[in-house]
Amino acid sequence: MEPFVIPARGLGPAERRRVARHLLLDGFGLAAQERLAASRVVVVGAGGLGSPVLQYLAAAGVGTLGIIDDDAVDVSNLQRQVLHTAADVGRGKTESAADALRGLAPEVEVIAHRERLTRDNAAAILGGYHLVVDGSDTYQTRYAVSDAAAGLGLPVVWGTVLGWDGQVSVFWSAAPDGHAITYPDVFGPQPPEGESCETVGVLSPACGVVGSTMAVEAVKLLTGTGDPALGRLLAYDARTSGWDTIELAAPAPSAEVPAPATSGEHGAGAPAPGTLQEPRPTPPADARPPAGVLLLDVGLVPGAVPGAVFARLEDLAAGRFPAELLDHPADRPVVVVCERGLRSRGAEQLLRAEGWLDVTSRALVG
């Protein structure tokens, strides 16, 4: 594929020394490196996928890196979001990421966008860049990115990780030679939010594998080297360390494409609190268990389920259990509930691993 970034200047001696291994690389060389130096790339999300993407693009010599994220670093992020350290807990992710990147590659211009990307602001933010890398963790953000990038004619490198599995692809509404394809062409209309790393977990190094692959795709697109994954879905299984390639084609205008069932991490993750409004649940009659059964509510609204013991899923994961649960015999039934059944399934798995033998989960609303 032909490169679409025009070098604005040559590289100085210090820059050339830094990227010497690229200059020696067959099929890459000085021209490709100069295109990287002239490139402006924006990364959506500074989390599990954004961390390796940003690190490798900065190290590779991309001239300008934008970071979009409105979240702050939490201790639970450190398992996989390797751009941040324990000292960064509580800081904005864009601030933490920018400091790390400037320490890694001082010559890279870093632009921090500490805001949530939405359909209202996406075009204005993305419009100043050559390429978008989407490591977001909600459908709401992914479809906003896709629509804005399609309107601007920008290519999008997309990836997701959930549990043991990951996916990477390239979408581009203005791709040459009839290869135009967008995220909705493959995944259909925007669905409700699904499973996330918050509810089913994620293998930490899998984020590095998928994020690094996304960085490779970005470099190939910017420099016109190699064969980008445009029109292909790369599927990774960390259980076997195997990759499968699925050929994609934009559907005919009348075709209906089924929507995916999960959202994934950073291309895994749950929506940030307050972004998607969960309905306040009203427990159906059969949600109230008989005597001797502990009803445990892990939903988003404390006290919303009458008669239930409330616990945060994050506290359960940290081994902090309510007294009522600790006093409940391990062989007696526990029913875990939440609004849509996603968090309760994660809690069910946690409790079973801790020794409770009879645990079931259910959703309160459909």
Residues noted as catalytic: 197, 338
Q: Helix (H, G, I), strand (E, B), or coil: what is residue 79?
A: helix
Nearest CA-CA partner of 46 in 86, 100, 124:
100
Amino acid, res. 95: E
3-state percent helix, strand, coil for the chain, nearest multiple of 5? 35, 20, 45
DSSP string, 84-105: --GGGTTSBHHHHHHHHHHHH-
If one counts every other C-beta atom within 10 angstroms of the C-beta of residue 150, the result is 19
- DSSP-derived 3-state class of residue 147: helix
- Quick one: which of 188, 180, 210, 196 has its CA closest to 143? 188
Task: Please compute, for residue 86, the number of CA atoms within 13 A of its CA located in the half-sphere on the CB side.
Answer: 0
134 to 176, 293, 313: CA distances (angstroms): 21, 44, 27
Enumerate the β-bridge partners of residue 158.
134, 169
Tokens of 341: 């059944």
Q: Which two tokens stand for residue 225?
A: 């080297």
